């Protein structure tokens, strides 16, 4: 008997393609409307197999697709170093092959576009094909390679967008990351300005649901003239879950030794471990730490927006599964790998401190200059914050420590020191006070006042929405702090509830019980200072928190001023008064596109009795064009009445 579970790459045999009904139907619905689609999924999750299956005429009737579609597939790995004309010539060549495979007459204009490639000859060919009653679907697999092509510029992508708008032409891309993230590399800021990246409907390809996974376990064996015992089927699914590659591997070994569970697991782990190592080594340290500390992650995520973003990314990478507010590993094999010696050795070298509470191992009781580290208060994307004590003055302080990964990069060290210098020069009752800055054996730290009180982010998680009488003093203090900082040439760039502390003193047990209550703006870690800094790293990395980020920050614009903070404050006001975010989506790309293109929602759609002037002030703060927003944060609060 031949073992049918031989596929370690794309599935070419239609009989071995199982499941993905929901994904295929959704993609087909978009294609019927001539809508371009971006298929996003982790390595070996089945993107290419899905594209191959979509191209099979036999499946078109059940998907509602007609024979007027002409699919042409390209692996963008071969386009990585090509120029504009060469790539358009490749497109034309693959479309000509598609015509031949469908036994359709050749198109002379396509042949010319291959021989003399240009934008004009390519568009002429598409127009002629359309006139023959055919719609062209270009499948661009491994799209990362094309997006990183140094020979391409914004004009190339604009040309593709123009062709898709003028003709019956749609694109289906396959990539491990959303297209909007891919643009933050190389010539990212220029390329992102192209409307090409706005025409795609993102579709995230994840793990197979249990019913489809069990179909893949069961049916190929039955077709080969045998069947796996029920207990073996259960064991395989428990071991590898719904990951297509892992299912092929485990089933291959299960068919060889169906009655030897231990042998199946040993062989499967031996084959999957190199793949798991690849996943692990391509994770950021924060993602690795989160995977290894999963037991309390849901509780910590309540007040940690950075952690929520990490969890969302890990779910999209199919390395975690979310069930309501809880998270679990997608398979026992992956969980076993995470507890293996390989992971422990890679994540915690022999010279690491033994009991670190944080990512980089700053131990309780450690000393940084004159300060003793007491306990971890919170963690962000660039740094951790600890409660500490000045040993001579016996004063409790907050110590912000730049993560080891960031400290190894000179631009982040400079950014961290700029933050300390900029904030230390600010003197405002609603801005956290900085006392000291230093580095000890490569550990960079900043010492700030310790604020006894409530984290507004955590407070909102517990309460949902806040009454207007509670929102008003917070916005008043934040506006005053921001207007002062902007006047000093400092733009915060990350205004959000978790960066706001509500001070509580011994004589004021509740923040809301005193007219002297004070909200404090913290964490100027990505602030843009007028005298230097761009707010964007050398690699074009987007800085800020997406849920509260102004459109110009998302685009990586070089000119980002205080009106970006006004936008973020508007999002925060919307969140406090309605209990919801104004721009939401099922994934990172959808949220980005909402900030960039969706009109600001009227908060009265959530809270109908909200005063009109309050709602209009918030909507104006959320304008896409900075020139249409309030000039200052104070002006926004004043407009709210």
Q: What is the pLDDT of residues 26-85, one digit of tens each?
A: 999 999 989 999 999 998 999 999 999 999 999 999 999 999 999 999 998 888 788 999
Confidence (pLDDT) at 343 = 61
| CA 415 from centre of chain | 23
Which of 171-175, 484-488, 522-526, 632-636 bottoms out in mean pLDDT, i.e. has the lowest?
522-526
CB 527 within 8 A of CB 547: no
CB 397 within 8 A of CB 450: yes
pLDDT category at 168 given cuts 50, 70, 90 is very high
Confidence (pLDDT) at 186 = 45
Residue 588 has pLDDT above 50, yes or no: yes
Confidence (pLDDT) at 183 = 56
Confidence (pLDDT) at 184 = 45
More confident residue, 200 or 608: 608
Which residues does 466 contact at the CB level (< 8 Å), separation at least 6? 459, 460, 576, 577
Confidence (pLDDT) at 402 = 79
CB 483 within 8 A of CB 532: no
Confidence (pLDDT) at 350 = 36
- Beta-bridge mates of residue 395: 390
Share above pLDDT 70 across residues of the chain, in percent, rounded to a whole number: 85
Mean per-residue pLDDT for 258-269?
90
CATH number for the segment(s) 210-281 = 1.10.8
Q: What are the two backbone dihedrals, phi and then psi, of residue 443, each rounded to the nearest 5 degrees?
A: -95, 115
- From 561, 417, 416, select the one nearest 485 (Cα to Cα): 561
Residue 552 has pLDDT above 80, yes or no: yes
Confidence (pLDDT) at 604 = 96
According to CATH, the topology of domain 367-449 is Phosphorylase Kinase; domain 1 (3.30.200)
Place of tokens 């191959």: 52
pTM (two decimals): 0.58
| CA 148 from centre of chain | 18
Confidence (pLDDT) at 385 = 87
Residue 527 has pLDDT above 90, yes or no: no
More confident residue, 105 or 559: 105
Cα(633)–Cα(483) distance, integer angstroms: 6
Residue 299 has pLDDT above 60, yes or no: yes
The length of the chain in residues reads 641
The CATH superfamily label for domain 20-204 reads: P-loop containing nucleotide triphosphate hydrolases (3.40.50.300)
Residue 430 has pLDDT above 90, yes or no: yes
Distance between first and last Cα of the chain: 79
Map residue 595 onto helix, strand or coil: helix
CA–CA distance from 472 to each of 262, 476, 521, 534, 636 (Å)? 63, 6, 15, 32, 12
Tokens describing residue 546 = 């997406």
Residue 9 has pLDDT above 90, yes or no: no
Residue 150 has pLDDT above 50, yes or no: yes
Cα(201)–Cα(355) distance, integer angstroms: 45
- 630 sits in which H/E element: none
Mean pLDDT across the chain: 84
pLDDT category at 535 given cuts 50, 70, 90 is very low
Mean per-residue pLDDT for 463-467?
90
Tokens describing residue 272 = 């999957």
Cα(14)–Cα(30) distance, integer angstroms: 23
CATH number for the segment(s) 455-640 = 1.10.510.10
**CATH 1.10.8 boundaries in the chain:** 210-281
H runs (alpha helix) in 38-118: 47-54, 60-63, 84-101, 108-115
Confidence (pLDDT) at 128 = 97
Confidence (pLDDT) at 401 = 86
Confidence (pLDDT) at 362 = 65
**CATH 1.10.510.10 boundaries in the chain:** 455-640
Mean per-residue pLDDT for 627-631?
96
Which of 91-95, 503-507, 548-552, 616-620 bottoms out in mean pLDDT, i.e. has the lowest?
503-507
Pairing of strands 169-175, 36-40: parallel
- The DSSP output letter for 106 is P
Residue 189 has pLDDT above 70, yes or no: no
Mean per-residue pLDDT for 290-305?
77
CB 204 within 8 A of CB 316: yes
Confidence (pLDDT) at 321 = 93
pLDDT category at 533 given cuts 50, 70, 90 is very low
Mean per-residue pLDDT for 149-157?
83
Mean per-residue pLDDT for 378-398?
83
Tokens describing residue 486 = 């902007």
- Counting beta carbons within 10 angstroms of the beta carbon of residue 296, is it exposed (0 to 12), middle (13 to 18) or buried (19 or more)? exposed
Which of 93-102, 296-305, 470-479, 571-580 bottoms out in mean pLDDT, i.e. has the lowest?
296-305
Mean per-residue pLDDT for 580-601?
83
Give the count of beta carbons closer than 10 Å to the beta carbon of residue 360: 19
Which of 348-352, 397-401, 440-444 bottoms out in mean pLDDT, i.e. has the lowest?
348-352
What does the buried/exposed string (b/e) look like for 128-154 if buried means 16 or more CB atoms within 10 Å of the residue's CB? ebbeeebbbbbbbbbbbbbbebeebeb
Residue 477 has pLDDT above 50, yes or no: yes
**CATH 3.40.50.300 boundaries in the chain:** 20-204
């Amino acid at each position: 008997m031949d073992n049918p579970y031989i596929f370690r790459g794309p599935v070419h045999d239609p009989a071995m393609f199982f499941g993905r009904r929901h994904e295929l139907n959704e993609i087909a619905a978009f294609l019927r409307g001539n809508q371009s689609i971006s298929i996003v999924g982790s390595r070996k999750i089945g993107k290419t197999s899905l594209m191959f299956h979509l191209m099979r005429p036999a499946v078109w009737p059940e998907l509602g697709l007609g024979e007027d579609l002409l699919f042409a597939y390209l692996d963008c790995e071969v386009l990585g170093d090509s120029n504009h004309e060469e790539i358009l010539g490749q497109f034309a060549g693959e479309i000509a092959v598609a015509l031949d495979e469908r036994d359709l007459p050749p198109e002379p204009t396509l042949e010319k576009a291959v021989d003399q490639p240009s934008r004009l000859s390519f568009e002429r060919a598409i127009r002629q094909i359309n006139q023959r009653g055919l719609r062209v679907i270009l499948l661009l697999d491994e799209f990362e390679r094309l997006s990183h092509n140094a020979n391409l510029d914004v004009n190339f992508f604009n040309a593709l967008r123009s062709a898709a708008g003028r003709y019956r032409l749609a694109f289906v891309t396959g990539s491990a990351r959303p297209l909007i993230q891919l643009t933050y590399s190389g010539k990212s800021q220029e390329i992102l300005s192209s409307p090409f990246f706005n025409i795609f409907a993102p579709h995230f390809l994840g793990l197979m649901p249990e019913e489809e996974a069990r179909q893949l376990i069961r049916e190929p064996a039955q077709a080969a003239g045998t069947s796996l015992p029920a207990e073996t089927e259960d064991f395989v699914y428990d071991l590898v879950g719904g990951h297509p590659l892992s299912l092929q591997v485990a089933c291959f070994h299960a068919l060889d030794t169906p009655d030897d569970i231990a042998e199946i697991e040993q062989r499967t782990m031996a084959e999957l471990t190199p793949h798991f190592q690849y996943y692990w080594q391509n994770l950021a340290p924060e993602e690795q730490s989160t995977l290894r500390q999963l037991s309390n992650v849901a509780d910590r995520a309540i007040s940690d927006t950075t952690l929520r973003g990490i969890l969302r990314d890990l779910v999209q990478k199919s390395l975690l599964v979310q069930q309501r507010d809880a998270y679990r590993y997608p398979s026992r094999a992956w969980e076993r790998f995470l507890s293996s010696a390989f992971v422990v050795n890679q994540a915690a070298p022999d010279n690491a401190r033994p009991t670190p509470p944080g990512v980089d191992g700053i131990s309780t009781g450690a000393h940084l200059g004159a300060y003793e580290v007491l306990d971890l208060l919170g963690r962000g994307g660039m740094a951790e914050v600890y409660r500490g004590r000045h040993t001579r003055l016996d004063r409790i302080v907050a110590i912000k420590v730049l993560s080891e990964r960031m400290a190894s990069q000179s631009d982040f060290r400079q950014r961290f020191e700029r933050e300390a210098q900029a904030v230390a020069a600010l003197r405002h009752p609603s801005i956290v006070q900085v006392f000291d800055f230093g580095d000890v054996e490569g550990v960079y730290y900043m010492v700030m006042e310790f604020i006894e009180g409530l984290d507004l982010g955590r407070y909102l998680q517990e309460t949902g929405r806040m009454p207007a009488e509670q929102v008003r003093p917070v916005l008043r203090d934040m506006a005053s702090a921001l207007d002062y900082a902007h006047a000093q040439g400092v733009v915060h760039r990350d205004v959000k509830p978790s960066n706001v502390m509500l001070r509580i003193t011994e004589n004021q047990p509740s923040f809301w019980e005193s007219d002297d209550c004070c909200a404090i703006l913290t964490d100027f870690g990505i602030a843009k200072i007028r005298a230097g800094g761009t707010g964007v790293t050398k690699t074009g990395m987007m800085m800020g928190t997406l849920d509260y980020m102004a459109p110009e920050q998302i685009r990586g614009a070089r000119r980002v001023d205080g009106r970006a903070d006004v936008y973020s404050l508007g999002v925060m006001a919307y969140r406090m008064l309605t209990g919801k975010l104004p721009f939401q989506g099922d994934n990172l790309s959808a949220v980005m596109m909402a900030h960039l293109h969706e009109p600001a929602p009227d908060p009265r759609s959530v809270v109908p009795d909200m005063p009109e002037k309050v709602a209009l002030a918030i909507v104006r703060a959320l304008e896409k064009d900075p020139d249409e927003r309030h000039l200052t944060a104070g002006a926004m609060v004043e407009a709210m009445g």
